[in-house]
Amino acid sequence: MSANEDQEMELEALRSIYEGDESFRELSPVSFQYRIGENGDPKAFLIEISWTETYPQTPPIISMNAFFNNTIPSAVKQSILAKLQEAVEVNLGTAMTYTLFEYAKDNKEQFMENHQPVNSTIPISSIISVETPNTAPSSKKKEKKEHLSKAQKRKLADKTDHKGELPRGWNWVDVVKVFEQNWL
């Protein structure tokens, strides 16, 4: 079987296996991403596998450069990639994308044992210095609400319905009048 036939068969198998799985993403017919761990899990990571033209006879390109992995130290990423490369060597010559994703899922805890979750959020108080002005309460001027007279309230009520909304079509334009003005 040629490399292209193997790739087509594996692609079909991956699509059927991971159909409906939110963790799996097909970036292109030869490039796939899989999120190991749940959303919000500080030890979750994303693996991207791209096939070369001669895959599966040659190893695929495995990457962890996705933005999702920014909180993972590069030493931990290198460790994960090294362990995945070992699995690649064992499975060379066979369809291995599913095997690599499952291997990563099964060994997630072992892969991430040296990972200390980094809190990437910075408290707002450290970014913005909040200063409260020291003014006397008597110097504060309160904004006055506009008080409407009885006649103003009645006029406003006549324009609107009981909910305070303007009636439908209050701003419509008389089309016939506009045509008369412009073309006659």
Render each residue's pLDDT in the chain as its tens digit; 184 residues.
566 888 888 888 888 898 888 889 888 888 999 988 888 787 888 899 999 888 888 899 999 888 888 888 888 888 889 989 998 898 888 888 888 888 888 888 888 777 666 554 444 444 444 454 555 555 566 777 788 888 888 887 777 777 777 778 778 888 888 888 887 6
**Is the Cβ–Cβ distance between 103 and 16 less than 8 Å?**
no
Q: Which domains does the chain have, with CATH numbers?
A: 3-111 (3.10.110.10), 146-183 (no CATH)
Residue 113 φ then ψ, to 5°: -65, -30
Supply the pLDDT for residue 119: 53
Question: Is the whole-model pTM more than 0.75?
Answer: no
Cα distances from 166 to residues 133, 146, 152, 161, in angstroms, run: 42, 20, 16, 6
How does strand 24-28 pair with strand 61-63? unpaired
79: which residues sit within 8 A by CB, 6+ positions away? 111, 114
| Closest CA relative to residue 14, chosen from 116, 73, 77, 102 | 102
Count of all residues that appear for the chain in the document: 184
Dihedral of the CA atoms 7, 12, 16, 21 (nearest 10)? 50
Supply the pLDDT for residue 126: 46
| Closest CA relative to residue 104, chosen from 49, 66, 56, 53 | 49
Strand order in the sheet with 45-50: 24-28, 31-36, 45-50, 61-63
- Taking phi over 0 as left and psi of -120 to 50 as alpha, with beta for the rest, 63 belongs to beta
